[in-house]
Chains A and B, each alone.
Chain A
Amino acid sequence: MSKKFRRNRIELPIGPQHPSLKEPASFRITLEGEKVVNAVIGVGYNHRGLEKACESRNYIQDLYLIERVCGICSHTHSTAFCQGIEELAGITIPRRAAYIRVMVAELERLHSHLLWLGVAAHEIGFDTMFMYTWRDREKVLDILAEVCGNRVNYGINTIGGVRRDVDEAMLQNMSKMADALESQVKYYLDLALTETTLSARLAGVGKLSYEDALRFGVVGPVARSAGIAYDIRVTEPYAAYGDIPVDLVTDTREDVLGRTVVRIKEMLVSLNIIRFCIKNLPDGDIAVKAPLRIPAGEVISRTEAPRGENIHYIRSNGTDKPDRVRVRAPSEANWRGVKHMLEGGYLADVPITIAAIDPCYSCTDRAIVIDSGSGTEVKDWQSLRQYSISWYKKQGIDVSAVKIPERKYY
């Protein structure tokens, strides 16, 4: 691979091992001084050959496989899959099951957004907030463990409904958790909107205009932060979302600060949805019987994952094994936008820009051929992150100056 030395250009290969992102990915960034002029992104060390495996297993076995496409948004993948099979089989799940699916989906959105908030704070050097948000996240995981039986990979869905019911005690705990979490989330929103050190790091970074966001087909909070009102819970309500008022959160900032604000506000919306479900949970069964052999047909099933629109395409052939399963997870749609966001920005902003789309590499399934040995400086993620923190310190922005008061909650 030839490299051109024009003016002060250097190429930085980063990854696939880097401690901050917890997932393998490679980036090849071309710099001119401090500015990024080109970015080649290779994600997808997680390509496992899952879709081929789906074709040789039956639908119930595939449910467990599909759930493990991603550990953070596992419920939306299994919901999308179950919905698709239920549509092919022509069965309707009971209302109670639909409400339980919504409750678990919103709990998942809460834990995922808190996780993201912590990771983003960590990327800009704000480790205190990382610890705070992950401590709050434990409350959500406790509820999930109580309702579903596991903290991660919940396994609550089955074809035809859900596997476990919720009782009065669980609903009360959920309600208490929602109240406790609300004050924390409102505090994070206040922090994002008013704390000048935070906005100095996040505002103007990773800009993606409304027109570019449409052109690159981004989804989720990235699209909503550019003003695009696109949320599958509102566009095509599934499960019980047709009965539930969902506030669509958008922002006009078009940058990382906008994405932060959108995610925090979405957490408040999720808490309201959970409260609505608790109050209006209908009685009845939690599942209907589903056939083993699914009639031939094809279906496109969509859900709104924490990261955006999640699409499953399933084709059946009348047997107990699917003919074709294709998962298009939301992060796949956002990667093209990242390349555009990185170019023109500073090297110091690379970690937070990439983190701001909330990438989920195992949802993405890609691979890269990186030819190292080009003789350029090799930085790993940790040193890139340190570089970004010290670069901003020189500009006078030190996020460790933010004071976080101790709060009491249950």
Chain B
Amino acid sequence: MQTENEIVEKLCGEFGFLQDKIYVQRQKRIFTGFLAKEEFEQVLHYAHDELGFYRASHVVGTDEGGDLGFIYLLSNEDGIILALKEKAPKSDPVINSMTDIYPSLELHERELVDLFGAVVEGLPEGPSYPLPDGWPKGNYPMRKDWDPKYFDRNTMTYNPPAGGAGKEGGSK
């Protein structure tokens, strides 16, 4: 049974770039900062192969301004969650699918494609998820600059005011 601090020590020992980017938030929670694609994949493989993080519960997509964020929630048999974060720029939001190691992530990664506009390479073939047929291309609802009040559900078109929708909150 490894403690959270032991896991952090092992990871920092193996990967120098994690030195200031990983911390134990509380019991059973380890968070990292946003890592580039290659660094992220190295840490994920190590966590799966060497540290016993056998279960991937989820991928949370986030909008980080100029980047898209992907937070992978991995857990081991003691129930410790490692929240491993990856980022990719919105101009080139390409990441690799982790379904070859964690098959359960298939539909969660598919969601990132529809809702955030990520490009997930290596995803198995399958229907798009979760948006309906006829959803206008290029519209990614979970990005911060997309506002539902400018979306016409009858014609399925998005008509923001000139100058963009911006980061308005409090619509409803």
Chain B interface residue count, CB cutoff 8 Å, equals: 39
Given known contacts A56-B171, A326-B58, A366 and B129 CB-to-CB distance under 8 angstroms? yes
On chain A, the number of residues with a Cβ less than 8 Å from chain B's Cβ atoms is: 40
Establish whether residues A336 and B106, one from each chain, have CB atoms under 8 Å apart when the complex forms: yes
Known interface pairs A321-B169, A333-B57, A366-B107; A52-B142 also in contact (CB < 8 Å): yes
Are A217's CB and B56's CB within 8 A?
Answer: yes
In the complex, A328 has a CB within 8 A of chain B: yes
A34 to B141, CA, bound (A): 42
A236 touches B133 (CB 8 A): no
Given contacts A47-B131, A336-B104, A369-B128, contact A313 B71 (CB under 8 A): yes
In the complex, what's the smallest C-beta–C-beta distance from A328 to chain B, in angstroms?
4
A214 in contact with B55 (CB, 8 Å): yes
Given known A-B contacts A55-B169, A298-B31, A313-B71, A217 and B102 have beta carbons under 8 A apart: yes
Bound-state CA distance A396–B133 (Å) is 45
Across the interface, do B29 and A300 meet the contact criterion of CB distance under 8 Å? yes
Q: Is A315 in contact with B57, judged by CB distance below 8 angstroms?
A: no
**Shortest Cβ gap from A65 to chain B (Å):** 11
Q: B149's closest neighbor in chain A, by CB?
A: A56
Chain A residue, CB-CB nearest to B101: A215
Binary A-proximity of B72-107 (CB < 8 A = 1, otherwise 0)? 010000110101000000000000000000111011
A367 CA to B135 CA, complexed, in Å: 12
Task: Please provide the chain B residues from 97 to 135 with a CB less than 8 Å away from any CB of chain A in the complex.
Answer: 102-104, 106-108, 126-133
Q: Is the CB of B81 within 8 A of A368?
A: no
**Chain A residues with Cβ under 8 A from B54's Cβ?**
214
**Interface check B160, CB cutoff 8 A:** no
Within the complex, the shortest CB–CB distance from A294 to chain B, in Å, comes to: 15
In the complex where A44-B130, A336-B103, A336-B106 touch, is A311 in contact with B148 (Cβ < 8 A)? no
User: Restricting to A206-223, which residues have a CB under 8 Å from any CB of B?
Assistant: 214-218
Structural contact, A333 and B141, CB atoms closer than 8 A? no
Q: B57 to A324, Cβ gap below 8 A?
A: no
| 1/0 contact string of A138-168 vs chain B (CB within 8 Å) | 0000000000000000000000000000000
A52–B55 CA distance with the chains assembled, in angstroms = 27
Given contacts A216-B104, A309-B57, contact A300 B132 (CB under 8 A): no
Q: Tell yes or no: A284 within 8 A of B by CB.
A: no
Complex Cα–Cα for A55 and B83 (A): 22
CA distance A284 to B141 in the complex (A): 45
Q: Is A217's CB under 8 angstroms from B55's CB?
A: yes
In the bound complex, residues from chain A placing their C-beta under 8 Å from that of B132 are 47, 367
Name the residue on A nearest B142 (C-beta).
Answer: A52
CB of B60 within 8 A of CB of A326, answer yes
Q: Do A311 and B127 touch across chains, with their CB atoms under 8 A apart?
A: no
The answer to whether A332 has its CB under 8 Å from any CB of chain B is: yes
For the A-B complex, the count of residue pairs with Cβ-Cβ distances under 8 Å equals 92
Closest to B126 in A: A40
Q: Which A residues touch B21, using CB under 8 A?
A: none
B55 CB contacts on chain A under 8 angstroms: 214, 217
Interface residues of B in 124-172 (CB under 8 A from A): 126-133, 141-142, 148, 169-172
Could you tell me if A217 and B57 are in contact, using CB atoms closer than 8 angstroms? yes
A365 to B56, CA, bound (A): 19
Within B52-73, the residues touching A (CB, 8 Å) are 54-58, 60, 62-63, 71, 73
Measured in the bound complex, the distance between the Cα atoms of B171 and A370 in whole Å is 33
CB neighbours of A194 from chain B (8 A): none
Whether the Cβ atoms of B57 and A311 lie closer than 8 Å is: yes
| A298-329 interface (Cβ within 8 A of B) | 298, 300, 309, 311, 313, 315, 321, 324, 326, 328
Residue of A whose beta carbon sits closest to that of B169: A56
With both chains docked as a complex, state the minimum distance between the C-beta of A209 and any C-beta of chain B, in angstroms: 14
Cβ of A44 and Cβ of B129 under 8 Å apart? Answer: yes
Determine the distance from Cα of A300 to Cα of B27 in the docked complex, in whole angstroms: 12
A373 at the interface (CB under 8 A from B): no
Rounded to whole angstroms, the CA-CA distance of A218 and B57 in the bound complex is 9
CB pair A366–B106 under 8 Å, yes or no, is no
A57 within 8 A of B: yes
Q: Which residues in A have their C-beta under 8 angstroms from that of B45?
A: none
CB distance from A167 to the nearest CB of B (A): 35
Give Cα A366–Cα B126 distance, bound, in whole angstroms. Answer: 13
Residue pair A215, B129 in contact (C-beta under 8 Å): no
A53 within 8 A of B: yes
Question: Are A336 and B148 in contact (CB-based, < 8 A)?
Answer: no
Asked if B37 is an interface residue, CB under 8 A from chain A, the answer is: no
Q: How far is the CA of A44 from the CA of B107 in the complex (A)?
A: 11
Q: Check: A51 CB closer than 8 A to any chain B CB.
A: yes
Contacts known (A49-B141, A236-B79); A336 close to B107, Cβ less than 8 A:
yes
Contact of A366 among B130, B142, B172 (CB under 8 A): B130
- Minimum CB–CB distance from B41 to chain A (whole Å) comes to 19
Asked if residues A300 and B172 are in contact (CB atoms below 8 Å), the reply is no
A-B contact pairs, 8 of them (CB 8 A): A47-B132, A52-B148, A324-B62, A328-B57, A328-B58, A336-B104, A367-B128, A369-B127
